[in-house]
């Protein structure tokens, strides 16, 4: 059985419990065995982490000790997957550059806050995107359009373009929305969409997030 560890907490504005339980249910329906917890203390036990095939953090901002970051990073480097969405993974533990290096990016702004924008799938053949791209290669989003600092080593699967309405100096910038990468021997996948339940119930976002977790777990 492929096992997934979901860890939720941090800023409540991203509805960490509700979104985690929703995605954990989808993962269960896809054949994985999810375990959900609400404490970073789970990272204190390396033997516990070794039981999982993928770890899914949903913990916006907050702080994490260096020992816990090292435990998480070590598990991923040894082959455990890491996957998540929006601020729960891409704006967690702002003071930890080791964590950000593993994720491959860090949120820095969302000009205009909740706005309408579009996302284009750019890799049509990747296991995460290929089924979705057949019917929704370009799709509309009403949410925060994340501007991020990103690692050039990421394999980008989808992008969004900033029109410059709110910040003219970034007009035309194409920003990764969905990417994969390796960290050691572990697979990492991230989707910047997912501000709350309103995002995660709008197609094709829940499918992309779910497939990202499956891919990171080597179950796709």
Instruction: Note the Cα 155 to chain centre separation in Å.
Output: 14
Strand order of the β-sheet with 33-37 is: 33-37, 3-10, 54-60, 81-85, 186-191, 174-183, 155-161, 114-121, 138-144
Q: What is the DSSP letter of 196?
A: S
Give the pair of three-digit tokens for residue 50: 């070794």
At 173 the pLDDT is 98
Q: Cα(10)–Cα(31) distance, rounded to whole angstroms?
A: 28
Q: Give per-10-residue mean pLDDT for the chain (220 aa).
A: 97 98 98 98 93 98 97 97 98 98 98 98 98 94 98 98 97 98 98 97 97 98
* Burial class of residue 161 in the structure, from the number of CB atoms within 10 Å of its CB (0-12 exposed, 13-18 middle, 19+ buried): middle
End-to-end C-alpha distance for the chain, whole angstroms = 14
Q: Which domains does the chain have, with CATH numbers?
A: 3-216 (3.40.50.880)
pTM: 0.97
Q: How far apart, in Å, are the Cα atoms of 47 and each of 44, 51, 62, 70, 99?
A: 9, 7, 24, 14, 20
């Amino acid at each position: 059985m492929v096992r997934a560890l979901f860890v939720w907490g941090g800023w409540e504005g991203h509805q960490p419990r509700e979104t985690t339980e929703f995605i954990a249910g989808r993962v269960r329906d896809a054949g994985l065995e999810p375990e959900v917890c609400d404490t970073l203390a789970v990272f204190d036990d390396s033997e516990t982490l070794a039981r999982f095939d993928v770890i899914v953090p949903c913990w916006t901002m907050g702080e994490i000790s260096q020992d816990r970051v090292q435990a998480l990073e070590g598990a991923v480097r040894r082959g455990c997957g890491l996957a998540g969405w929006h601020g729960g993974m891409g704006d967690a533990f702002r003071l930890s550059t080791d964590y950000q290096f593993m994720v491959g990016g860090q949120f820095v702004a969302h000009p205009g806050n909740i706005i309408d924008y579009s996302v284009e799938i750019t890799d049509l053949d990747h296991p995460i995107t290929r089924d979705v791209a057949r019917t929704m290669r370009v799709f509309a989003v009403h949410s925060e359009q994340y501007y991020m600092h990103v690692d050039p080593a990421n394999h980008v699967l989808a992008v969004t373009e900033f029109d410059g309405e709110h910040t003219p100096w970034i007009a035309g910038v194409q920003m990764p929305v969905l990417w994969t990468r390796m960290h050691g021997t572990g697979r990492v996948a991230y989707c910047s969409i997912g501000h709350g339940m309103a995002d995660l119930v709008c197609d094709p976002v829940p499918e992309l997030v779910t497939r990202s977790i499956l891919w990171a777990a080597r179950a796709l």
